Amino acid sequence: IIAGERRWLASQNAGLHEVPVVILDVDDVKSLEFSIVENVQRQDLNPIEEAKGYQKLVDDFNYNQEKLSQFIGKSRSYIANSLRLLSLPEDVLLMLERGNLSAGHARTLIGLNNSVDIAKKIIQKKLSVRQSEIFVKQFRDKKFKLVSQKDSNVLDLQKDLEEKTGLNVSINNKKNNSGIISFEYRDLEQLDKLINIIKKNY
């Protein structure tokens, strides 16, 4: 069974001996792809397991966020936000996997240099997501204070690049309209992904 094993087991437990099925002739690679797609749609996945499933489809099967969105049935922004969770430090990812933080809490921490310390305080204070957003604003480092002063067009472009790459992006546009675009990656896999995106589009 490539996909639907849990439904099949539930049918067995319910005493059903016949269920509708779709028989496909697929190779091992396609079978693995279907299994991953099935897995990321489970209700009991934590946010990191879900994000890693999406990342595997991107890395191993050349999915982009648009294809993921259509195939999984989630919005493109949902997919982008899920992938961005993987840019958080390992300690924060562990808090997510253990259920100490929700995905909503974790998104407020993306890009913060002191995200581990703030995450611990959010857990300790038992803050809601909205309370966490307010709390995080008090701990923004100098880099993010500068972001608030950026031109709205630059911020829109920065957000668009973040959604397309799944990485944290910083655009520093100078007065003469020269500048620097920075992509923050967590490991070599994310770097390879960024390079592949650039090669495919440019």
Residues annotated as catalytic (active site), given as ranges? 5
Spatial CA neighbour of 182 closest among 199, 197, 167? 167
Taking a C-beta distance cutoff of 8 angstroms, is the pair 112, 142 a contact? no
C-alpha to C-alpha distances, 137 to 110, 125, 141, nearest whole angstrom: 12, 16, 9
Give the DSSP letter string of 147-195: HTTS-HHHHHHHHHHHHHHSSEEEEEE-TTS-EEEEEE-SSHHHHHHHH
